[in-house]
Amino acid sequence: MSDEGIADNIEAMVRREVERVLGVRRTAPAANDGGDELLSQAEAAAEARCSVSTIRAWQAKGILGRYGPGRAALVKRSELYAPKAQAARSDANADAKADAIIARRRAR
């Protein structure tokens, strides 16, 4: 993983932890709440409560679009709340839970 990728992951983790500690809850934006605001991959990951690599994978699969010039790969906030992104997030959570269960069973 590149230094930029590591920095993005750390930023997203810190953001999630601060939100957790402060009790901040993210909700879907209202229809007129600037839902098409462009977010960096790290901001999108924090908002979706997933890793930056997951955001990149969703962009590669076409679940999320890529916006902005060059390598920016920005994400529209509204796309994070679209049904296909929510389904992908559910799948990612299920995969993470399954991995944790398997790891616990192997540790026995």
Q: pLDDT (tens digit, 0 to 9) for every residue of the chain, 108 residues total? A: 677 778 777 877 777 776 666 655 444 444 445 557 889 999 999 888 888 998 999 888 888 889 887 777 899 988 887 766 667 666 666 677 777 888 888 887
The pLDDT, as a whole number, for residue 34 is: 52
Show the tokens assigned to 34. Answer: 């600037």
Report the candidate in 28, 40, 19 with the shortest Cα–Cα distance to residue 78.
28
Max intra-chain CA distance, the chain:
51
The pLDDT, as a whole number, for residue 96 is: 74
The pLDDT, as a whole number, for residue 21 is: 65
| Predicted TM-score of the model (pTM) | 0.51
